Structure 1
Amino acid sequence: MHKRTATGIKNSIENGLKTGPLLRLLAGTVLLAGCMTTAPKTPDTARAAPAALDLPPMKIFSPAPTQTTTRSNASIARDFLDLSFALETGATLERFTRFEGPITLRITGERIPASLGYDLSRLMDRFRSEAGIEITRVPANQPASITIETLTQDELSRRAPNTACIVVPNVSSWQEFRHARRANLSWTQVERRERLAVFIPENVPPQEIRDCLHEELAQALGPLNDLYRLPDSVFNDDNIHSVLTPFDMLILRATYAPELRSGMTRDQVAAALPGILARIHPAGAGRATVPVQPPPPAWTQAVLTAMGDAPLPQRRRAAELAVAIARNEGWSDSRAGFSWFLMGRLAVSSDRAQAHLALDEAYRIYAARPETRFHAAHVAMQRAALALSEHRYQAAYELSAGAIDAARDAENAALLASLMLTESEALEKLGRTQDARSVRLDSLGWARYGFGSDDEVRARAAEIAALAR
């Protein structure tokens, strides 16, 4: 994923930025080095064999049938309030804000990747059909409510270190952002949204560009907070979801309900939500609502440290603390699964027994619930990579092949390609050469969308191939 440290995230938010996507967990990378801040290294000899791969055209996801959330309206109302009236730092937002009136959008930048237009068009169609939000695209030289500006990753990092992409209020260009006073960029001072900018790197894989579009535009339009307790949302710093979910679209539809307006207090919004949700989501009426408590601050800090750029031993201790807190709290939800997942991934390089135990437990938690099916696919990738490296080829095949449908449904090409490459290597070792070749060829088109450059695709294929040796 796009790397950001915990300190960088906190500073960016406190300076008025909303950064995203956070620590995307490198779903398409085999992290047997146990390090989440850099791509794993492989010997030159391991890269040599796939270097001659003849890569097929890039594959892209087609529009999927519209889905609906199965959540209760009471839980949606609770989460709407917690998402809309706080920042990730814990700072409270005193007023509800959104765009009032027509919303326009433009794209600027010296280099606009070809994939951006397609993915943006798909997203705007979803905003219109699922969230009831009409956004009009205007030429780059016209003023707009939302400006999407592309720039290089280096340029972005110089002004906003440790961020992947950002949304900023009260500006319409990178130049304006660079010269703006910090107070003018603070979300806590926004009374209603009139103009803002989304800054996205141009020189990253198409999937990362798409992920930035989904998260940043969703936050440009709606909530600014993230909640670890949400298993079915991009508004969650575990970043399992690559694209906006049915829950997210319902949150945005409620945000632009006519019963709401900028400037309303939390109590006023809370009073309006039951009627709004009864109208836009009648299926959620009367459904059971599981009570939740905010995670202890110590758990949140432990997770941030585990995902940050501290030395590996410190990150491992933080992950172990997160697991201990989750067990003490009696959690069996996605927060518990994420704690075990972090511990397992960080233990791979130094304690295989602990890695197996933790990843198995994360998988058990995630696989038990339909709403964490995509989470289970991420864990399955790690378990399959372990099996491949330990020459348990049948297990590697079953684990990777069993998670492919979930990765495809999640529209996560990096994860999908990695699972398919792992399956291919396992099939090759099991003597099913023709099947292995077919799966490998299919995987490479997805890898081009998920990983970007031809060199990176070949490097990722080499990393997985090296595991089986």
Structure 2
Amino acid sequence: MSAKRLIALTLSLAALAACDATNTAAPSPTTSRAPPATLTISEASQSLRNYYVHLQQDHQTRGLLRVDGGGPDTPFTPDMLARNFENIAFFEEYALGTGVSQKGQASDLRRWDRPVRVNIEFGPSVTPRMQATDTAALDALLPRLASATGHKITKNATRANFHVLVVGHDDHDTVESRISELLPNASPSTRNLFLDIPRDFLCFVTTFSTSDPSYHYDTAVALIRAEQPDLLRKSCLHEEIAQGLGLPNDYQQARPSIFNDDDEFALLTTHDEMLLNMLYDSRLRAGMTVDEARPILYILAREQTGRIY
């Protein structure tokens, strides 16, 4: 497994043999778990903090983690946009339930057919300042995603179906408890993704479907490591929620985009908003194969860019 800043995993309940296909409602989550007045940080957690600070600094020194969204140095044509969509929306980067990199066959198009209700939760180790920072980032992101997709995407702490957990190494017990509540029928491999995370997994998202065939998502859970500095955490928030809407893959030639392992861009770009708009266009339907969708993609890409070539 190669070291990656952002890793997205899409799972289907129907594909997990150890999962019950019944969608069990989770109890109302606690949005924030306030840290104690005097917080003791473990040596392991401090080591992760140091590692991620140096990682962010190294990326920025090399001109990565851009927040400008691209410009004259990152042109793309309609054909490039359509090609990027095809590779990002129709392929899975990781084998189901394992986190193991694969070059898989194209999958069918998947997305949400119901309103997406997002809640962000924080582990006990997350400081009030970090909670405020990440909550503000989420509040700014969700309207942008809703506008890009034309789909209803809101923040909702009591009826959430898209759960974002911002937790640190020292919050293991909290994570174990919440995963048991949110995903009571998850397979052992899925639980292990949340409970035994390699250092190079800064964040990931799991998406679930109880429909048969499983073309429509109805639940998602994302995890973001709290030891990261602000920009890396914000980058995780942008990519994991966007990927959890139905863009599961990273594609090396996508630019300017967060759906790229090179980490050049930290935050959602205009190019990425175009991908999301295409994903939720009514001319595409969940369950379409890449061959069925391809002629439509090139029409949509030309409309998005306003170009005919």
TM-score range with shorter-chain normalisation? Answer: 0.5 to 0.7
What amino acid maps onto 1:119 in structure 2?
A
Q: Secondary structure at the match of 2:120?
A: strand
What amino acid maps onto 1:75 in structure 2?
M
Residues 167-316 of structure 1 mapped to structure 2, 5 A cutoff? 167-170=205-208, 190-279=214-303, 281-286=304-309
What residue number does 1:98 align with?
Answer: 111
Does the CA contact (< 8 Å) of 1:211 and 1:242 recur in 2? Answer: yes
What amino acid maps onto 2:203 in structure 1?
C
Once the two structures are superposed, residues 217-255 of structure 1 have per-residue CA deviations (whole angstroms, 9 ceiling, x without a partner) of 111013111122223111111111110111111101110
Q: Secondary structure at the match of 2:276?
A: helix
Give yes or no for the alignment of 1:82 onto 2:95: no
What residue number does 1:159 align with?
Answer: 196
Q: Distance in 1 between matches of 2:256 and 2:10?
A: 26
Compared CA separation, residues 24 and 212, structure 1 to 2 (3 A):
farther
Relative contact order higher in (CA < 8 Å, ≥ 6 apart): 2
Q: Return the TM-score normalized by structure 2.
A: 0.62
Q: Return the TM-score normalized by structure 1.
A: 0.42
Compared CA separation, residues 223 and 24, structure 1 to 2 (3 A):
farther
Q: What displacement does 1:27 show?
A: 4.6
What residue number does 2:153 align with?
Answer: 135
Q: What displacement does 1:13 show?
A: 5.2
**Gap regions ≥5 residues in structure 2:** 13-51, 62-66, 94-101, 176-193
Does the CA contact (< 8 Å) of 1:133 and 1:253 recur in 2? Answer: no
Q: Secondary structure at the match of 1:104?
A: strand
Does the CA contact (< 8 Å) of 2:115 and 2:151 recur in 1? Answer: no
Q: What displacement does 1:271 show?
A: 2.3
What amino acid maps onto 1:148 in structure 2?
V
Correspondence for 1:6 among 2, 5, 14: 2
What amino acid maps onto 1:26 in structure 2?
L
Q: Distance in 2 between matches of 1:101 and 1:248?
A: 21
What residue number does 1:119 align with?
Answer: 137
Q: Distance in 2 between matches of 1:121 and 1:104?
A: 12
Does the CA contact (< 8 Å) of 1:25 and 1:239 recur in 2? Answer: no
Q: Distance in 1 between matches of 2:198 and 2:216?
A: 27
What residue number does 1:144 align with?
Answer: 160
Q: 1 or 2, which has the higher helix percentage?
A: 1
Once the two structures are superposed, residues 251-281 of structure 1 have per-residue CA deviations (whole angstroms, 9 ceiling, x without a partner) of 01110111112111111211222332343x2
Q: Secondary structure at the match of 2:113?
A: coil
Once the two structures are superposed, residues 119-150 of structure 1 have per-residue CA deviations (whole angstroms, 9 ceiling, x without a partner) of 111212322344434311112xx232311122
Once the two structures are superposed, residues 322-377 of structure 1 have per-residue CA deviations (whole angstroms, 9 ceiling, x without a partner) of xxxxxxxxxxxxxxxxxxxxxxxxxxxxxxxxxxxxxxxxxxxxxxxxxxxxxxxx
Q: Secondary structure at the match of 1:149?
A: strand
Residues 448-459 of structure 1 mapped to structure 2, 5 A cutoff? none
Q: What displacement does 1:86 show?
A: 1.3
Q: Distance in 1 between matches of 2:223 and 2:87?
A: 26
Q: Distance in 2 between matches of 1:31 and 1:128?
A: 29
**Gap regions ≥5 residues in structure 1:** 17-22, 33-62, 172-183, 287-469
Q: What displacement does 1:14 show?
A: 9.5
Does the CA contact (< 8 Å) of 1:24 and 1:239 recur in 2? Answer: no
Q: Which shifted more, 84-93 or 113-122?
A: 84-93
Q: Distance in 1 between matches of 2:60 and 2:281?
A: 44
Q: 1 or 2, which has the higher strand percentage?
A: 2
